[in-house]
A and B are shown apart, each in its own frame.
Chain A
């Protein structure tokens, strides 16, 4: 067991990169899926050891200050590695079935496995880097690794989705680069040029001296840029398409992880912008985007016929809710936002796992074609039903706790927003519940499946979300509290 946190940090990033390289050669082989799981398990082990080291020894700054772990990213690193691992478990039978259906071929399997590992690696780099420029590079690289995966089925719709994903996220991320540049410009005046001027810890130390005019413009660009990745309305257009047309494991990690990482990037920038100006502009901008996303997504939920599209809109809704919570700021709202990030990611990926198997068995993503899951495939049906209830905020799942905290702090800080949010959540509830009910009840029309579906990840995630609704482990609560103070607001 290695105890040196810096070595663990290096391991955390290097393992998935190595996995990507190995799978570039072996990804199509018979045991490709198992190798993928093995590398993800190693990454998870490194992340768990690192988290334990952080619990014991506090924040880590390593490799010439280039990487660092503090309470804000510690839990996200653990979450990313965990969901990365469970998604690899899920994709093992899922992709095998896809291959038997002829939708995946050998080269496509190789592409999928290799890019999956690199995608996880890039997200981990984005989370752990201390350099805001590298954060940008890693975010863009994370998009690049998934573009070809979205279009992996080569259907006209998937090509369109991938093109939109690339171009819209490319434009968005270009705005973020301009924002980063402006940040560098502001830091240059205080710290002087060189790499130090982009290191977050250095910037954080001098944030009150940064020029407020430059910072406010920089934050607008950064919010728009990374906000595209988060899927905030009105720059969300790529999200439902990419989720619906890509393979389901990719939908699960896009929704469960990538959106979180992008939101994390915004939070890091918000801390700096808040420090530089007293006007509260960053918070207000995030509140605006957040509410707009929740409302618009709730309205669009009703109109969906494709099950993956529907849950993609649900992701927009929940990301909007988190953005809103962080925009309000304050210890409770931030705490709730962080908790919501965790439970949403767990629950939504669980839903995508269940949905993936359900669509595979029904042979269609249209909700009208899926029915009788409870009778035809009971575990799958229960997974989908419980997952949907959890994501809709039914107690005692964790989403209820975080939504309750967000709404109560909204009542105190922004009374006008509470009814709007409640109404939107009710509309979303009605839409998703009605659709899910129709899918799980009724007479089954499902042909039998040759491979046993991987439903363990679904129930592990739901159990974790259930636990977080009732009991938050002390070290996790401690991270949330410290991170909430760090984000301030």
Chain B
């Protein structure tokens, strides 16, 4: 049973990676939110498993926090924003999807190589997952670069934080509680600010296309 649980962490890691690829290939904004929720659920399961295996009650608290924040509050908030702003589809990304998938594979290989020497040294139960976590971070990073609309960029940002959170739980058996709480607070406030922001952008430009936000240049621009 113990061995099975240990193996299950690798399964969760694999799911996270697949979801990250899913996000890259997905252009429907609503599906992106669903994928983000799926990522949150996987994180909760992974945290519970690590908590059970290492007998750390803090991890159960952290799992509860994740459940509340990343499976309920943030997805619901995103749904409301999408409804109120009526944005369903992302415009054509700056790079086409097959191309981004190929770059994504290169990123995964790169992260695995980068994490290999460290994974060998780690004592935690799921050390092999560090590479996957890093891959998830880089994939979300790429998603933020190639997407042109505000909401996919925000989801990329949140997915990146998920990758980091997974690295924290799986590879190091959880950061100290005070740090986790702080991070959760920062994420929550960040999402709140971003949603305020999206309304401001919308009010100003009548669209959530980030390409409106390319006026600031280093020369020849009148100051506001």
Q: Which residues on A are within 8 Å of B, measured CB to CB?
A: 131, 133-134, 136-138, 140-141, 144, 147-148, 151, 153-164, 166-167, 170-171, 174, 177-178, 181-182, 184-185, 188-189, 193-195, 197-198, 211, 213-214, 217, 240-241, 244-245, 300, 303-306, 308-309, 364-366
Contact = CB atoms under 8 A, between A and B. Distances in A.
A163 B124 CA distance: 38
Contacts of A155: 204, 224
Given A133-B178, A156-B224, A158-B224, A163 B210 contact: yes
B5 to A, nearest CB: 19
Interface stretch (B16-24, B44-52, B95-103, B192-200): B192-200
17 contacts: A131-B176, A136-B179, A141-B189, A144-B190, A147-B193, A156-B205, A163-B201, A163-B210, A167-B153, A170-B157, A177-B183, A189-B121, A189-B123, A197-B176, A198-B175, A213-B117, A214-B118
A214 B123 CA distance: 13
Contacts of B220: 305
B189 A156 contact: no
B2 to A, nearest CB: 20
Nearest to A144: B189
Contacts of B203: 154
Contacts of B161: 174
Interface in B203-224: 203-205, 210, 212-216, 218-224
Nearest to B121: A211
Interface in B121-162: 121-124, 130, 134, 137, 141, 144, 150, 153, 157, 160-161
Given A178-B134, A198-B175, A305-B220, A137 B186 contact: yes
Contact of A178 (B137, B194, B196): B137
A137 B187 CA distance: 10
Interface residues of B, number: 57
A245 B224 contact: yes
Contacts of B189: 141, 144
Given A185-B171, A198-B175, A303-B218, 9 more contacts: A141-B185, A144-B193, A156-B212, A171-B157, A178-B134, A181-B172, A182-B118, A189-B122, A245-B216
B115 to A, nearest CB: 9
A109 to B, nearest CB: 17
Contacts of B200: 151, 154, 159
B118 A170 contact: no
B218 A300 contact: yes
Contacts of A364: 223
Contacts of A182: 118
B109 interface: no
B107 to A, nearest CB: 14
B173 interface: yes
B197 A304 contact: no
Contacts of B171: 181, 185
A98 to B, nearest CB: 13
Contacts of A306: 221, 223
Contacts of B175: 133, 181, 184, 198
A214 B199 CA distance: 42
A213 B164 contact: no
B182 A133 contact: yes
A171 B160 contact: yes
Contacts of A184: 172, 175
B164 A181 contact: yes
Given A158-B224, A167-B153, A181-B168, A137 B185 contact: yes
Which 4 residue pairs across A and B have the least CB separation, nearest first?
A: A133-B179, A137-B182, A365-B223, A160-B213
A185 B122 contact: yes
B223 A366 contact: yes
Given A156-B215, A184-B172, A241-B216, A174 B137 contact: yes
Interface in B10-47: none
A198 B176 contact: yes
A162 to B, nearest CB: 7
B121 A213 contact: yes
Contacts of B224: 153, 155-158, 245
A245 B223 CA distance: 8
Given A171-B144, A177-B164, A198-B179, A161 B223 contact: no
B176 to A, nearest CB: 4
B167 interface: yes
A31 to B, nearest CB: 27
A182 B222 CA distance: 44
Contact of B194 (A141, A154, A156, A166): A166
A112 to B, nearest CB: 15
B106 interface: no
B114 interface: yes
Given A134-B178, A178-B137, A304 B219 contact: yes
A451 to B, nearest CB: 22
Contacts of A136: 179, 182-183
A303 B144 CA distance: 29
B7 to A, nearest CB: 22
B223 A195 contact: no
Contacts of A188: 123-124, 172-173
B153 to A, nearest CB: 6
Contacts of B193: 144, 147-148, 166
Contact of B204 (A159, A181, A185, A305): A159
Nearest to B177: A195
A131 B153 CA distance: 30
Contacts of A213: 117-118, 121
B164 A178 contact: yes
Contacts of B141: 171, 174
